[in-house]
Amino acid sequence: MRQHFASITLQTRGPALYDFTDKAKRIVEQSEIAQGLLTCFVRHTSASLTIQENADPDVLRDLASFLDRLVSRDEKLYRHITEGPDDMPSHIRSMLTQTSLSIPLRDGRMILGTWQGLYLFEHRDAPHEREIALHLIGE
């Protein structure tokens, strides 16, 4: 049994979902762990992770629009407003999605379904550099 650590850095440009499936695939291949478990962990509280449909980009836009409607930017609703009107909604949007994802590995591949892709969900308006830590265990 072995472990492998890696990290993926993404440059974001505003609230949207950023696909990192291919980057994760390459790390799985490099790890040479064929059977095991991959954990992805985002090191931020205003960006998050989700596994979603990778076929129609409109799905990604609709997911972002839904959260935009659900989580108001009205500053009267919040106490934490010093970092801008998009900051507290970003924390809420992160809470409603995922900080970590766990994906089994078989025969050197993530066992994703046909339509599943891995996404970083950026919730802030300004461009950000985001880091996803990856841990692999197996053999």
For residue 54, report the phi and psi dihedrals to the nearest 5 degrees. Answer: -105, 10
Point out which span in 8-16, 23-31, 80-88 binds a second copy (CB under 8 A): 80-88
Which of 15, 94, 122, 124 touches a second copy (CB under 8 A)?
A: 94
- Element spanning 116, H or E: strand 116-122
Q: Can you tell me the distance from the alpha carbon of 54 to that of 74, in angstroms, rounded to the nearest whole number? A: 32
Q: Can you tell me the distance from the alpha carbon of 106 to that of 112, in angstroms, rounded to the nearest whole number? A: 10
Point out which span in 8-16, 23-31, 34-42 binds a second copy (CB under 8 A): 34-42
Q: Can you tell me the distance from the alpha carbon of 50 to that of 52, in angstroms, rounded to the nearest whole number? A: 6
Which of 11, 13, 30, 95 touches a second copy (CB under 8 A)?
A: 95
- Min dist. Cβ of residue 23 to a second copy (A): 17
Closest to a second copy by CB, 24 vs 103, is 103
